[in-house]
Structures are given as structure tokens and as C-alpha cells.
């Protein structure tokens, strides 16, 4: 990047190096009359592009009047005639020349001639001298620095010298001649330090001190220089320094642009200074000055990650009003974050309207997040509407999205709607998975509709050769709840026949139900033996329950005999 500032300095150098003057006039002519002004100067002063007359042309244009002849009546020397023309041209232009020189009475420092030999000598000293000795080495050289000379040295030294060496050179030259500390020269130093492979922390802080010092003079610092400082502080994770620099924009005579706000927010985020980052962001929103869409997207995602979803939404909407569109990835991130919060789920629902046309193909994650959020807040009707919108208009929903709504409907006991959605799922070419069947069976079992639940198990077995343990467990618990223990035991047997070994949960549920509701300690004891044969160990409380029910029955029998 320093090459761009260097290019500006080179333009300055080219304008400051004078062209060589033409050779002096003939000594013979110098004895007879004053020499004409140098030809380049005449061409600069004259408004005519025509060439000056030469000796040959002067003879052809001489007057034929006898008064113009010499004493012998012959024409004057053609060389003298040409000189007369030059002299008259000088006299005609004399007034213009006076005006030009008067207007140029105050020389521009940029017009100073650069001593290329001196520039090379100073550059060699800077390159070969250790950093801590550069100020004294330059002082010993007694160089009269000016802006073009310093620019020439900085440009040549930037390729081989460190950023710190350029900074020390800049400061030393400024002490010699404050006029050398121009904005263009400062930009060369800033670019060199900013583009270093490894940015040195101390170099950046020294540069920041220099910028604050120069900022006391209006026009000595610009927004681009400050932005590069912000970027360096961000990279170094110096959040407080970055915020200090941002807060001094106005004091240094600069106005922050969109990149300034972006860099300050990101720098604050490196240390999780969320409140400070939002203070900067709030200023950005108030100013209406936003960076490009990609950077707006980064800001939106940053605040989403920091649980500031409302603030992130504010950034997205305000930027859009200013015709700055964040990328779809940022919108998806924002919608998902809003959908996880009960207070902002409706805002997420509204943002689905942002997806239109081609962008709908990337909206699947956002739609899924909103449907899931609506189901979690028990807003099942809106969730079903969004799902059907996906079915009819896109993006095409997957099995997980269907399952979100089917689960919510089943929990609410809306079994016909749940089963109807499963049919829609099949019409979309999506095979209901085991979870789909299990959750609908659970809804049926919860409502005591065990025949429907068991019928659904048979349907599932036709599609899926191996079901999950949860599927059978749902039926066993349902039958136990209805106190249909025989069917519960049949379901346990069916589970083993289908290659699914019951675990502790199934046995525990059956034994507890048999003891507490049926007082059937014998069947419970048989199940306990079956468990132990299978390598399972029943909990002590449940084992004690069997013994307690058995003892209770014995006591009753004993009491009956006594009576």
C-alpha cells in the first residue's frame, strides 16, 4: 500500500527536478549586444506555439529599405537580423514576463530541486545505521531537509528499511524542517508500518503519538491515516487504543467514514467490549454512514454472537434503508438468532419476507429456525402456515422441519393434523423417519388411543426394518398407563422378536406398574429373573418393591387364615 503514497511523492519529485538549460550564446555576440533570453524561457512566456526565427530565416525576412543597409548600401549581416528579431520578441514579451515573475514571487517548497546524490547518501545511512542511532547519525550529516527530499528518501528506503527506521527518519527530518512533515510523506510511513508482515506494537504506538502531534495542524492528518491506525490496533488486539483513536477523529480534524466505524467496532469486539462496540455502532446508525455490505454483515453477526439480537436487527434494517445490503449469510444468522428468543420470534418471522426470488433457495435454514421457534412458543398455527408456505412456494422443507410441526401438534393432541402432515410429507417425496412415527405414536398413547398407536407401529415396521427402542418404549408406557398389562407384556415380547433387546427402562416401568397397580409380584419376579439372565441389574428400590408387594400378599393370606 505504501507504493500508492510513494507514487504521489514521485510525481512531486518529477515536477521539482528542473530541465538542463540550453548552452550559453556565442562569446562574440555577447561582446556586441546583450544575449537574448534562453529559448525555453521565451517559449514559456510566449503564447504562440511557432518556433523562434533562426539565422537563415532572418535574412529572408529583412527589410529592403535603404535605411536598413550598411554604409556600403549592402544588407546587414543576417545573423544580426536574427538577433534583432530575438530582441524585439524579448521586448514584446517583457511585460508578460514581469507579470509571471511577480505572480511567482513566493516559491512553492514543492518546486525545490531534489539533490539525488544527497537523497541516496541519506538513504544509505538510514539503511546501514541501527535504529537507535538514526537520529544522531542524521544530525551529524547536517542535512537541510525539505518535503521533496524527504519524499525521495522515504520512497527509496521503504523497500529495504523497517517501518521504525522510516518513522525515525520522518521525525528527524521534521525537527530539521517542520515543512517536511507533509501528509503525503506521513502516508508513506503509515503504509510501510501497516503493511509489515509482523506489526510491532511499539512502532504503532510511536506512530500514534506522531499522528496526535501532527493533528494539531489542520490538514496534516486524514481519515485514511486514522483508519489504518485503527486497523493496526485491531490486529494487535489493543481495543482501548483503537477506541481512543476513534474518539479523537473530530479533535484531529477528521470525520469518520463507514470503515472507521467498522474497524472501531471490530477492535472493541476483540476484547468483548460489547457496550463500547455498541456505542460506536449507535453513532454509525445516527450518522447514516455505513461500510460496504460485507462489513455490515460482519457487524450484524458480531452483535448476534454477543446476544445483542435487537441491536443487530437495528443495524441490518438501518443499513438497508441506506441502500446497503448485508449478504444473505448475515441475514440467515440474524433470523436464526432472533428465532431462538421468545421476545423476538415474531421479528424473525417478519424477516422471512426479505427472501424473494433467487434468494429463496438459501432460505431453508431461516425458515426452519423460525418454525422451530414458533413451535417452542406453542404458536403451532403460525408454524404450520409457514411450513405450508414452504411446501407451496419454497424453499422445499426437509423431514426435520416437518417433524418440528408434527411434534408440536402431537403434544397438543391434534393428532389428525399431525397425521395429515405426515401424508403431506409423503406427497413431497419425503419418507417419514422413525422419529416421525414415534412422536405421533406418543401423541396417540398420551391420549389413550393405544389401538391407533399400535397400528402406526405396524405401518412403521413395513417401511423401516429396524425401529428404535423409543418406539416400543412408547407403547409399553402407554399400555401400562391404561393398565393393559397383558398387552404391555406382548409389546415387550414383540420388541425382542424384532431383534431389539429391552433395557432397564422397559423392565423398570413394567415391574413398577405390575407391583403398584396390579399387585402382581409373580409376573414382576419373573421379569426380574429375565433381567438378571440378560445381564441387567434392577435398582434396589424396585427390587424392594417386589419384596414389599409379596410380603403384603402373604400378610393378607395369613390374616385370612387366622380369621
> Average pLDDT by consecutive 10-residue portion of the chain (563 residues)?
47 43 38 38 34 37 38 41 43 44 45 83 95 93 92 93 94 92 96 93 96 93 98 97 97 97 97 96 97 98 97 98 96 97 96 92 96 96 96 94 97 95 95 96 95 94 90 93 92 90 87 88 89 81 85 75 63
Contact present, 114 and 17 (Cβ < 8 Å): yes
- Residue 305 neighbours by CB under 8 Å, 6+ apart: none
Q: What are phi and psi of 163, to 5 degrees?
A: -60, -35
Burial per residue of 358-377, b for 16 or more beta-carbon CB atoms within 10 angstroms, e otherwise: eebeebbebbbbbbbbbbeb
The number of residues in the chain equals 563
pLDDT at position 236 is 96
The pLDDT, as a whole number, for residue 343 is: 95
Q: Are 226 and 254 in contact (CB under 8 A)?
A: yes
Q: Domain-by-domain residue ranges, the chain?
A: 114-221, 229-326
Q: How far apart are CA 89 and CA 156, in angstroms?
A: 44
Residue 50 is predicted with a pLDDT of 38
CA separation, residue 518 to residues 374, 483, 515, 556 (Å): 42, 8, 6, 16
Q: Give me the pLDDT at residue 256, please.
A: 98
Q: Give pLDDT, residue 84.
A: 46
**E strand or H helix at 193:** helix 183-194
pLDDT of residue 40: 37
pLDDT of residue 309: 97
Amino acid at each position: 500500500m505504501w507504493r500508492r503514497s510513494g507514487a504521489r511523492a514521485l510525481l512531486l519529485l518529477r515536477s521539482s527536478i528542473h530541465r538542463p538549460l540550453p548552452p550559453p550564446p556565442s562569446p562574440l555576440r555577447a561582446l556586441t549586444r546583450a544575449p537574448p533570453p534562453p529559448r525555453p524561457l521565451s517559449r514559456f512566456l510566449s503564447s504562440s506555439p511557432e518556433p523562434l526565427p533562426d539565422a537563415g530565416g532572418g535574412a529572408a525576412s529583412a527589410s529592403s529599405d535603404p535605411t536598413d543597409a550598411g554604409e556600403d548600401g549592402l544588407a546587414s549581416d543576417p545573423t544580426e537580423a536574427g538577433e534583432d528579431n530575438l530582441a524585439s520578441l524579448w521586448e514584446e514579451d517583457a511585460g508578460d514576463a514581469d507579470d509571471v515573475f511577480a505572480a511567482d514571487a513566493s516559491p512553492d517548497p514543492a518546486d525545490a530541486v531534489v539533490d539525488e546524490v544527497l537523497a541516496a547518501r541519506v538513504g544509505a545511512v538510514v539503511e546501514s545505521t541501527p535504529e537507535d542511532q538514526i537520529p544522531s547519525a542524521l544530525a551529524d550529516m547536517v542535512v537541510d531537509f525539505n518535503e521533496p527530499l524527504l519524499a525521495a528518501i522515504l520512497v527509496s528506503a521503504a523497500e529495504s528499511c523497517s517501518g521504525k527506521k522510516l518513522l525515525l527518519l520522518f521525525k528527524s527530518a521534521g525537527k530539521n524542517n517542520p515543512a517536511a512533515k507533509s501528509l503525503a510523506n506521513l502516508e508513506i510511513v503509515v503504509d510501510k508500518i501497516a503493511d509489515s508482515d509482523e506489526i510491532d506494537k511499539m512502532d504503532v504506538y510511536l506512530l500514534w503519538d506522531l499522528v496526535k502531534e501532527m493533528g494539531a495542524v489542520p490538514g496534516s492528518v486524514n481519515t485514511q491515516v486514522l483508519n489504518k491506525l485503527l486497523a493496526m490496533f485491531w490486529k494487535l488486539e489493543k481495543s482501548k487504543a483503537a477506541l481512543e483513536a476513534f474518539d479523537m477523529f473530530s479533535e484531529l480534524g477528521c470525520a469518520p467514514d463507514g470503515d472507521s466505524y467498522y474497524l472501531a467496532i471490530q477492535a472493541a469486539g476483540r476484547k468483548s467490549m460489547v457496550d463500547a462496540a455498541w456505542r460506536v455502532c449507535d453513532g454509525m446508525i445516527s450518522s447514516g454512514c455505513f461500510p460496504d455490505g460485507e462489513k455490515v454483515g460482519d457487524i450484524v453477526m458480531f452483535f448476534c454472537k454477543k446476544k445483542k439480537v435487537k441491536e443487530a436487527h437495528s443495524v441490518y434494517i438501518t443499513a438497508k434503508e441506506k441502500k446497503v445490503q448485508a449478504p444473505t449469510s448475515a441475514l440467515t444468522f440474524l433470523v436464526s438468532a432472533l428465532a431462538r428468543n421468545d421476545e423476538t420470534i415474531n421479528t424473525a418471522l417478519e424477516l422471512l419476507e426479505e427472501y424473494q426470488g433467487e434468494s429463496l433457495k438459501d432460505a431453508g435454514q431461516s425458515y426452519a429456525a423460525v418454525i422451530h421457534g414458533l413451535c417452542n412458543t406453542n404458536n403451532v398455527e403460525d408454524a404450520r402456515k409457514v411450513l405450508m408456505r414452504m411446501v407451496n412456494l419454497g424453499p422445499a422443507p426437509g423431514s426435520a422441519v416437518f417433524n418440528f410441526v408434527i411434534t408440536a401438534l402431537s403434544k397438543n393432541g391434534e393428532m389428525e393434523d399431525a397425521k395429515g402432515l405426515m401424508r403431506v410429507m409423503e406427497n413431497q417425496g419425503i419418507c417419514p423417519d422413525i422419529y416421525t412415527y414415534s412422536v405421533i405414536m406418543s401423541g396417540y398413547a398420551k391420549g389413550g388411543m393405544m389401538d391407533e398407536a399400535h397400528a402406526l407401529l405396524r405401518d412403521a415396521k413395513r417401511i423401516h426394518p429396524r425401529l428404535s427402542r423409543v418406539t416400543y418404549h412408547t407403547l409399553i408406557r402407554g399400555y401400562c398407563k391404561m393398565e393393559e398389562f397383558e398387552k404391555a407384556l406382548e409389546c415387550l415380547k414383540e420388541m425382542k422378536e424384532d431383534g431389539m433387546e429391552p433395557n432397564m427402562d422397559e423392565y423398570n416401568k413394567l415391574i413398577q406398574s405390575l407391583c403398584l397397580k396390579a399387585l402382581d409380584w409373580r409376573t414382576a419376579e419373573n421379569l426380574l429373573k429375565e433381567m438378571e439372565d440378560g445381564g441387567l441389574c434392577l435398582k434396589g428400590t424396585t427390587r424392594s418393591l417386589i419384596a414389599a408387594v409379596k410380603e403384603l400378599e402373604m400378610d393378607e393370606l395369613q390374616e385370612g387364615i387366622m380369621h
